[in-house]
A and B are shown apart, each in its own frame.
Chain A
Amino acid sequence: MDSTVVKLEIEADFGCFTDPLSGASFRTYPFPTFSALKQIAYTIADAHNAFAKPMLLRICSPLKFANYTFTYAGAYRKQGRAGFVGHSTVLVNPRYQVLYEVVSRNEDGGSPKAVGLMRQLLEYNITEGRCKRTPFMGRGEFVMKYVGPWRDVEPENINITVPRMLRSVFEERFNGDFAPVFADVKCEHGVVHYA
């Protein structure tokens, strides 16, 4: 196995990877976006000069959607209103196996030591069940049921193409500008390859 590759399995009761084009009626994509997976790895371990880049996703649970209504009564509600009731379509019981490649943030490749350290830290945290922040399935309230090494399961037979799926919100590097990138993403036999 390539020494920079890390495997992670995640499972939750619900998941929501919102399509920004769904507006106020939030609707999830059928599987996580590239940037959502990148963020999940980031909650487990992070480093200043290397990050885990999602390469492959295996969808290990059937695609099920449900309507989910939530109330927001925080400071950013509409002025003069007691709360805001939002509607969203979320994924039910999502379970994924993800393959990450740890890469340097430096454009010229960076130090192999930094990449190695990051991979070791990530693998150690995954095995020991540690994390830097609480990982969640797209939305803060959807905390994970399982975060750990791959378990023995085969991907579901899901064949779907998501046209113009959000890939990333910000530029690749640290403190990148807001520059959303959309691309057609294909899932074949439950496996998604993130280019």
Chain B
Amino acid sequence: MLSQLFTALKDVQAESLHPWVNKVGKGAVYVVEIGETGTLLSVRLRTSTEPLWCVYKSAENIFPVIGGQQNDEKQVKAIARCVRFAKQLTFFELASIAANIDPEKWYAGFRRVWERAKRDGILTDKDDYRKGYLLLSRGHIYTAEEYNDILQSNADSSGSLGLCSLTGQQSELETHKFPSPVLPALGVTYLFARNEDIPCLSRYGRNGAASISVGKRTLSELSGKLAAITQDGWNGKTWAKIQVNGHNALLLAYTDTQRVEFTELLASDEDLYAVVCEKVLAALKAQSKQGANPSLVKILCLRTLDQGTKGIEFEKDIDSTVLLSNLNRMLELVRQAPSFARLKKDEKVVPLSPYRIANLLEHQYRMDGGKIEIHSEYFETGLELLIGDMQAASATLLAVTLQRVTPLLLIPQRKK
């Protein structure tokens, strides 16, 4: 996955980001305000638009986030662990002393603040910090840039020098854990996963970071590019969440010239697909009118393989001028396609997007209105309708479609 990401994101312009700087997950996050002396001041629920970042060194070393726990004892341990890690960052050191000395006392204080917030109406009875996360804050919530600056300035440069496998240049190599950014749809994603506890994964007797040589700087740059391309504001433009055969997947589409809604075009599940096509078409036309050079649109689909492993589902690229002509053709087809009534519902079905077609082909349809889930991977073929050999893709999809709807065409046997 590392090499594909490195190649696909080569032209992305972004600041490098320390591999430990990560987005806070999407669960319920409560922001706990702490005073300079470690006293607890307030607690509130994060707002939906608030971008939250944390330092994620490993599953047990996260700062300043404390994961929700099922019992009080574990919560106290988590606080102590978090505070120990916080001591490495001087800006939080003073505030952490009280919690470090006596985490139980700190936790009791937290519960008092929690109850007070409930009484004041800041939190409701539905709120439960054990089902979410606590994010400690002193003065303000630190941004990714601030964490990055702190970590980069404290960076340990005593690592071994060697030839980076990705860049081919002599640089300081990563000898510890590789970055594991939190990506949309996929969650925590190990860019290079090789569990040291599974000997069969070893390569020539080497495991973990020792099995390959990648420069720290390369990894920081890659983390920064991934964070930039998957930022919340670019949802639908450079990234989109999709489902591939029941698995969560992340679709990335990038071009170095302009932020066009490429992923919306490729992964749209909307009934009004023509509108999406028109929007992208207009953007591409405007781009060519401005005299911009044709650029390469790089498409990458990352998928959850199992709980801990993510992999590349497919990677493609297409020239923007070719996409423009393909899109014209697609729009024409979409406009010409007949609308028809949806089964059991008195509503008209409008032309389908490649993503919707792939989703529909994941089932076989029965006369009684039911459907059977079938293992199928036709999203890539569906995309070919738009970015590849349309005739070959149509031939494949037509055969599969017939197979999926055959039970609908057969006359049901009479019951004896």
Q: A87 to B204, Cβ gap below 8 A?
A: no
Q: Which residue of A lies closest to B202 (CB)?
A: A76
By a CB distance below 8 angstroms, the chain B residues around A22 are 1-4, 311-312
**CB within 8 Å for A24 and B312 given contacts A164-B3, A178-B204, A182-B168:** no
Q: A23 to B2, Cβ gap below 8 A?
A: yes
Question: Is A112's CB within 8 Å of the partner chain B?
Answer: no
The 0/1 profile, CB within 8 Å of A marked 1, for residues 145-181 of chain B is 0000000000000000001011110000000000000
Contact of B309 among A19, A74, A87, A89 (CB under 8 A): A87
Question: Is A142's CB within 8 Å of the partner chain B?
Answer: no
- Beta-carbon contacts under 8 Å, B200-237 to A: 200-204, 206, 211-214
Q: B197 to A79, Cβ gap below 8 A?
A: yes
By a CB distance below 8 angstroms, the chain A residues around B191 are 23
Q: How far is the CA of A170 from the CA of B141 in the complex (A)?
A: 49
Q: How far is the CA of A137 from the CA of B366 in the complex (A)?
A: 42
Query: Measured between C-beta atoms, what is the minimum distance from A9 to chain B in Å?
Result: 27
Q: A76 to B199, Cβ gap below 8 A?
A: yes
Question: Is A159's CB within 8 Å of the partner chain B?
Answer: no
- Beta-carbon contacts under 8 Å, B71-103 to A: none
Question: Is A150's CB within 8 Å of the partner chain B?
Answer: no
By a CB distance below 8 angstroms, the chain A residues around B213 are 180
Q: Which residue of B lies closest to A72 (CB)?
A: B200
Number of residues from B at the complex interface, CB < 8 A? 39
Contact of A19 among B3, B198, B206, B211 (CB under 8 A): B3
Q: B3 to A84, Cβ gap below 8 A?
A: no
Residue pairs across A and B with CB atoms within 8 Å: the count is 86
Q: How far is the CA of A24 from the CA of B199 in the complex (A)?
A: 12
Q: Which residue of A lies closest to B2 (CB)?
A: A21
By a CB distance below 8 angstroms, the chain B residues around A76 are 198-200, 202
Q: A27 to B193, Cβ gap below 8 A?
A: no
Q: A77 to B198, Cβ gap below 8 A?
A: yes
Question: Is A106's CB within 8 Å of the partner chain B?
Answer: no
Q: B192 to A23, Cβ gap below 8 A?
A: yes
Question: Is A129's CB within 8 Å of the partner chain B?
Answer: no
Q: Which residue of A lies closest to B377 (CB)?
A: A67
Q: A78 to B198, Cβ gap below 8 A?
A: yes
Q: B204 to A89, Cβ gap below 8 A?
A: no
Query: Measured between C-beta atoms, what is the minimum distance from B190 to chain A in Å?
Result: 7
Number of residues from A at the complex interface, CB < 8 A? 27
Question: Is B41's CB within 8 Å of the partner chain A?
Answer: no
**CB within 8 Å for A25 and B193 given contacts A87-B309, A87-B311, A178-B206:** yes
Question: Is A131's CB within 8 Å of the partner chain B?
Answer: no
Q: How far is the CA of A79 from the CA of B197 in the complex (A)?
A: 8
Question: Is B293's CB within 8 Å of the partner chain A?
Answer: no
Q: B165 to A182, Cβ gap below 8 A?
A: yes
**CB within 8 Å for A23 and B194 given contacts A89-B311, A164-B165:** yes
Contact of A85 among B202, B211, B306 (CB under 8 A): B306
Query: Measured between C-beta atoms, what is the minimum distance from B66 to chain A in Å?
Result: 29
Q: B168 to A164, Cβ gap below 8 A?
A: yes
Give the most central of B165, B191, B193, B211: most A CB within 10 Å.
B165
By a CB distance below 8 angstroms, the chain A residues around B4 are 22, 27
Contact of A65 among B1, B195, B198, B314 (CB under 8 A): B314
Residues of A contacting B: mostly: strand
Question: Is B305's CB within 8 Å of the partner chain A?
Answer: yes
Q: B212 to A25, Cβ gap below 8 A?
A: no
Q: How far is the CA of A24 from the CA of B195 in the complex (A)?
A: 8
- Beta-carbon contacts under 8 Å, A60-88 to B: 65, 67, 72, 74, 76-79, 84-85, 87
Q: How far is the CA of A149 from the CA of B315 in the complex (A)?
A: 34
Question: Is A163's CB within 8 Å of the partner chain B?
Answer: yes
Q: How far is the CA of A20 from the CA of B2 in the complex (A)?
A: 9
Q: How far is the CA of A24 from the CA of B166 in the complex (A)?
A: 18
Q: How far is the CA of A84 from the CA of B197 in the complex (A)?
A: 12
Query: Measured between C-beta atoms, what is the minimum distance from B275 to chain A in Å?
Result: 33
Question: Is A5's CB within 8 Å of the partner chain B?
Answer: no
Q: How far is the CA of A172 from the CA of B2 in the complex (A)?
A: 27
Q: B311 to A21, Cβ gap below 8 A?
A: no
Question: Is A158's CB within 8 Å of the partner chain B?
Answer: no
Query: Measured between C-beta atoms, what is the minimum distance from B192 to chain A in Å?
Result: 4
Query: Measured between C-beta atoms, what is the minimum distance from B366 to chain A in Å?
Result: 27
**CB within 8 Å for A78 and B193 given contacts A20-B211, A25-B1, A65-B314:** no
Q: How far is the CA of A25 from the CA of B204 in the complex (A)?
A: 17
Q: How far is the CA of A171 from the CA of B202 in the complex (A)?
A: 20
Q: How far is the CA of A84 from the CA of B195 in the complex (A)?
A: 12
Contact of A24 among B3, B167, B309, B314 (CB under 8 A): B309
Q: How far is the CA of A22 from the CA of B211 in the complex (A)?
A: 11
Q: How far is the CA of A168 from the CA of B334 in the complex (A)?
A: 50
Question: Is A47's CB within 8 Å of the partner chain B?
Answer: no
Question: Is A169's CB within 8 Å of the partner chain B?
Answer: yes
Query: Measured between C-beta atoms, what is the minimum distance from B177 to chain A in Å?
Result: 12
The 21 listed contacts between A and B (C-beta, < 8 Å) are A20-B203, A20-B212, A21-B3, A22-B2, A23-B193, A25-B193, A27-B312, A76-B198, A76-B199, A76-B202, A77-B198, A78-B195, A87-B305, A87-B311, A89-B311, A164-B3, A178-B204, A178-B206, A180-B212, A180-B213, A182-B165
Q: Which 4 A-B pairs have the closest CB atoms?
A: A25-B311, A76-B200, A76-B199, A87-B305
